[in-house]
């Protein structure tokens, strides 16, 4: 009761979660994505699943798509996308994200207990070719390379995780970072482009 008195906005969050639930079930069913245990949603996520791709989400999923659901304010609904045929998007247990995007043209593999801060984008593709002629001939055939995010990684708000990156177990990515290269397990990295700063204490 004390928690309710001190944080009354959480009442609306719970109400919104219950309101979202039936429609979220429909969204996942229409996209042939199996439903997991212990999933929680605040607002409606957006699924963009290519029919010839695989989207696999494990138990304990938590997605916040509503601007009211987090003080950092989601600037859009969580988007889960498999962009091209053969794409794989695999998310481990207890994954949490607020108002961000996961977009796989080739492969994004995320381990267990990964937390992603508000409005972060993780994409394994450039979307569009760099060369002008290629861009006009095949505008959606930008370069892509798999992304791997290992267990217990924490990614701060407003980050951009780009193609070909591997984030090692329990590493931490500082807010606002643009990650273009691997980060070793147990390290803190930040900046644009992100660079390793120091090992995480206790790792």
Q: Point out the residues that are catalytic.
A: 128
Distance CA 161, CA 138 (A): 24
Distance CA 37, CA 64 (A): 17
Q: Cβ distance 93 to 66 under 8 Å?
A: no
The 10 Å Cβ neighbour count of residue 11 is 10
Give buried/exposed letters for 51-86 (b at 16+ CB in 10 A, else e). Answer: eebbbebbebbbbbbbbebbebebeebbbbbbbbee
Cα separations (Å) of 24 from 9, 31, 51, 159? 22, 11, 19, 26
Distance CA 110, CA 105 (A): 15
3-state secondary structure of 105: coil
């Amino acid at each position: 009761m004390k928690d309710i008195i001190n944080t009354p906005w959480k009442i609306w969050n719970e109400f919104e979660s219950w309101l979202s639930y039936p429609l979220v079930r429909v969204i996942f069913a229409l996209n042939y994505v199996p439903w997991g245990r212990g999933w929680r949603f605040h607002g409606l996520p957006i699924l963009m699943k290519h029919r010839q791709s695989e989207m696999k989400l494990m138990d304990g999923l938590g997605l916040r798509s509503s601007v009211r659901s987090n003080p950092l304010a989601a600037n859009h609904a969580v988007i889960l996308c498999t962009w091209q045929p053969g794409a794989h998007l695999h998310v481990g247990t207890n994954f949490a994200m607020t108002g961000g995007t996961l977009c796989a043209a080739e492969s994004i593999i995320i381990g267990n207990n990964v937390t992603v801060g508000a409005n972060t984008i993780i994409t394994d593709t450039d979307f569009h070719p760099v060369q002008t002629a290629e861009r006009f001939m095949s505008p959606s055939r930008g370069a892509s390379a798999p992304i791997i995010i290992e267990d217990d990684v924490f990614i701060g708000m407003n980050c951009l995780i780009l193609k070909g990156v591997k984030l090692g177990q329990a590493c931490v990515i500082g807010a606002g970072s643009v990650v273009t290269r691997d980060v070793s397990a147990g390290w803190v990295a930040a900046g644009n482009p992100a660079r390793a700063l120091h090992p995480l204490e206790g790792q």
